[in-house]
Amino acid sequence: MRLKGFIFDLDGTIVETDYDWSRIKNEIGTGGQPILNYINQLSPVERQQKYQLLEQYEKKATDQARLKKGIKSFLEFLRQKKVKIALVTNNSWANTEIILRKFNLSFDRVLTRESGLWKPSGLPIKSIIDYFQLKSQECAVVGDSLFDVQAAREAGVNHIFILTEEAGRFSGYPVKVFPSIPALQDFVRREYFQPS
Ligand SMILES: [Mg+2]
């Protein structure tokens, strides 16, 4: 079966970024909730304060972001195969745009948190699949975190590819784990795009 859509996460997937999420969550005081869920249920004044704090960390990480090895060639490969490619990130549009411009990347569709849809909900993934007029089974999600896994599953996506050097973190989840983008590309080519 050929895959027709690939939905990528940004941070840790397209680019390497340095986020100390436990420190950030601690400082914001999320009490174990996903950050965006927590912030968005606060009063307007508090919400603005917490967003400012989050944005300081995000800006710093964005400025230091490095393109992941092999990602350009993988995106080019998918384009050649006429696969739709999308980016879904919980990051802001401002930071996403900086990264897209800096590394000269383009996607058929980009969703940031300003859409009001964010992971771990499956809604942003589902929104992309509907936009492309594809079925969940025809799409793959590529990410690096449990949020990506939860969002993909909630959207009915079974092809979940995780980039990580800590495969153990994902044992027990219905995902395929890869140490690098070239390794993922080899697998995708072999498994889904063999000449018939
Ligand atoms: Mg990520």
Q: Where are the domains of the chain?
A: 5-17+67-192, 21-63
Q: Quick one: average pLDDT of 16-45?
A: 94
Note the pLDDT of residue 80: 96
Strand ranges (E), 44-83 = 66-67
Report the C-alpha gap between 28 and 30 in whole angstroms. Answer: 6
State the distance from the centre of ligand 1 to the C-alpha of 102, rounded, in angstroms.
18
Q: Where are the beta strands (DSSP E) in 105-158?
A: 109-111, 139-143
Q: What is the DSSP letter of 25?
A: H
Sequence-separated (6 or more) residues with CB below 8 Å from residue 78: 6, 85
The H or E element that residue 15 is part of is: strand 15-16
CA of 196 to the centre of ligand 1 (A): 34
Phi then psi for 37, rounded to 5 degrees? -60, -45
Q: How far is the CA of 132 from the centre of ligand 1 (A)?
A: 22
Fold of the 5-17+67-192 domain = Rossmann fold (3.40.50)
Task: Give distance in angstroms: CA of 50 to centre of ligand 1.
Answer: 20
- Residue 196 pLDDT > 70, yes or no? no
Q: What is the mean pLDDT of residues 163-192?
A: 95
Q: How much is the pTM?
A: 0.93
Residue 194 above 90 pLDDT? Answer: no
Give the confidence band of 7 by pLDDT, cuts at 50, 70, 90.
very high
